[in-house]
Structure 1
Amino acid sequence: MSYKQTMALTIAGSDSGGGAGIQADLKTFQELNVYGMSAITAVTAQNTTGVQGVYPVEVEGILQQIDSIQEDLPPHAIKTGMLFNSEIIEAVAGRLKNYEWKNIVVDPVMIAKGGAPLLLEEAVNSLKEHLLPLAEVITPNIPEAEVLTGMEIKTYEDKINAIKILSSMGPKMVVLKGGHDADDEESVDIVYDGDTITELRTSRIQTKNTHGTGCTFSSAIAAFLAQGKAPMEAVRLAKAFIQAAIEDSLDIGKGHGPTNHWAFNRKNRSRENHS
């Protein structure tokens, strides 16, 4: 499959500041030679300092966007991000199931970088019951995993127990992100496919400019899945993509600046030129 024929859909919220949400997803798809499409679930007024407003799209409007994609541009992978409430989650999950779409990556977005809630508390059970069972890969961070499992995650043993609980909810692969272990010198993502536990380690970059890391990482996984990569390979490549984006982050705005979506390709081109 050539990249011109490879398509991925993001079902997520819009970030007016451009660092997260569908803007980050589409930038990631573009950088990875995947044609990106979107179904917007909510519009946020947002910048690097935080979220000033959240305006959910009516369910009918979300479903019509998804139906339009299926009618003409059926995707090879789907990434879900901010879904906000149980009504939206259940409606989206119903479409994903009805269309029998594969390569679904679920980023269980709950809290914005500045602390604003992006998922209502009443929607957590809907996320667990309706969406997670459809996922090829889910990518919770530690606070999100704590909400989904109902347990406190402090130790390595806690992390292993949590990913096994998450795996029992139905996804084929769980990636527990290590970005919130701020005291560690390495960022360690723990990957579990229902059988094998794999650790992906990278050096931790000391920067405040990490806005949109979760969105970018999960959409990179979706892009690589769309290209036909196996899930573990897709996760490894996405880890390299987001590591480059953080290492060469954009120091813009007054708060948490965004990651640099073109850093991965620039790094690879530089390596090729010096080889």
Structure 2
Amino acid sequence: MANEYPQAMTIAGSDSDGSAGMQADLHTFFTRGVYGMSVMTTAVAGNSYGIHASVSLPTDFIDQEFADVADDFEVRAAKTGMLADSTLIKTVAKNVTQFDFGPLVVDPVIMTKHGNMLLEESAFETLRTDLIPLATVITPNFYETQKLAEMTLESEDDMVKAARKLQLMGAKNVVAKGYHQDADQSEVRDYVLLESGTGFWLSEPYHHTDRVNGTGDSLSACITAEIAKGTSVEAAIRTAKKYVNIAIGNPIEVGHKFGPINHWAAQDEMNR
């Protein structure tokens, strides 16, 4: 039967070194047993040393990508990655509203894990007003949670309050990722707030490594893949947390500087 196999889609930029963006999403989809499709929004030229150039695709081309996927396939869950400007965000929001691609996981790529801003302020506001209200799940990192909630996070109570603020913006379920910059840190704790109002913490060991490119992409992609297979949102989030931690904890030597996580180690360990 056509389209019987579970399908998921990433709406993101192409990262030429394969460690993050669309490539990390597709690695994750494959290792979690779903067929991955993509709508490319930008193309990035870079390597393990850094990003050196990027270009956004024309919006009419992006519209056609969405239309072609919707015309032939049955995408059961989709996710967004980095959307470079307000025009791209509006284009994506328009298309995920027009077509049924299942639940939407929004990885709000606003700031790096080190706190550096990636979006202009105007694009940030468009993200808040146009895309976040469409999110079944939102997965901000520590600094993105602070930016979105407009508050400084200094305690676990602050994380809980911030997650509630994000839910009030329209995101049904929130995964607020914890801080992970201390040299003597032993664990990373993320706060999860479900649509039902249930909240809980997820904790995994902290790995001291520079092989962490694509962690946020892979977490949101794993949630997307699990939802596409029919898993509940809560179970998808729990699986994704474990998956990414295993992938970080078993580094592979690719590139000279900042490297990718090991999706295959996560696949092997979680399939035992």
Match of 2:121 in 1: 121
Q: Distance in 2 between matches of 1:119 and 1:74?
A: 31
User: One-letter code of the match for 1:109?
Assistant: V
SS state at 2:263 partner: coil
Deviation of 1:101 after TM superposition, in Å, equals 3.2
Matched, 1:37 2:37: yes
The answer as to 2:257 corresponding to 1:260 is no
Q: Which residue of 2 aligns with 1:198?
A: 200
1:140/1:175 contact within 8 Å kept: yes
Letter paired with 1:12: A
Decide whether the 8 Å contact of 2:3 with 2:74 is kept in 1. no
1:238 to 220, 231, 240: 240
Residue-by-residue CA offset, 1:75-96 (whole Å, 9 max, x unaligned)? 1000100111111111111111
In the other structure, the counterpart of 1:60 is 60
Q: 1:113 to 1:255 in 2, by over 3 A?
A: farther
Query: How many residues are matched?
Result: 270
Match of 1:103 in 2: 103
Within 5 Å, give how 1:97-176 maps onto structure 2.
97-112=97-112, 118-176=118-176
Q: d(CA) in 2 for partners of 1:141 and 1:3?
A: 34
> Aligned partners of 2:111, 2:15: CA distance in 1, in Å?
13
SS of residue matched to 1:101 = coil
Q: 1:141 to 1:115 in 2, by over 3 A?
A: closer
3-state SS of paired residue (1:51)? strand
1:190 aligned partner, one-letter code: Y
Task: Tell me whether 198-207 or 222-231 shows the greater mean CA deviation.
Answer: 198-207
| Deviation (angstroms), 1:134 | 0.9
**TM value normalised by structure 2:** 0.93
The structure-2 alpha-carbon separation of the partners of 1:178 and 1:210, relative to structure 1 and needing over 3 Å to count, comes to same
Q: Secondary structure at the match of 2:63?
A: helix
Partner in structure 1 of residue 86 of structure 2: 86
State the alpha-carbon separation in 1 of the partners of residues 156 and 111 from structure 2: 23
- Cα RMSD after superposing both structures: 2.0
Distance 2:269 2:239 in 1: 14
CA contact (8 A) 1:102 1:136 kept: no
The alpha-carbon deviation at position 266 of structure 1 amounts to: 1.8
2:190 match:
189
Q: 1:135 to 1:146 in 2, by over 3 A?
A: same
CA distance in 1, matches of 2:33, 2:100: 24
The one-letter code matched in structure 1 to 2:173 is M
Task: Give distance in 1, aligned partners of 2:59 and 2:112.
Answer: 22
> Quick one: structure 1 residues 14 and 116, their matched pair in 2 at CA, closer, same or farther if it must change by over 3 Å?
farther
Mind listing any 5+ residue stretches in structure 2 that lack a counterpart? none
Cα deviation 1:93-134 (Å, max 9, x = unaligned): 111111243211000012456877543321111111111111
Amino acid at match of 1:88: L
Separation in 2, partners of 1:179, 1:4: 40
Distance 2:140 2:161 in 1: 14
CA distance in 1, matches of 2:21, 2:28: 11
Question: What does the per-residue CA deviation read over 1:120-178, in whole Å, with 9 as the maximum and x for residues that have no partner?
Answer: 32111111111111111000001111221222222222211111111101111000012
> Counterparts of 2:65 and 2:265 in 1: how far apart (Å)?
31
Distance 1:142 1:15, change over 3 A: same
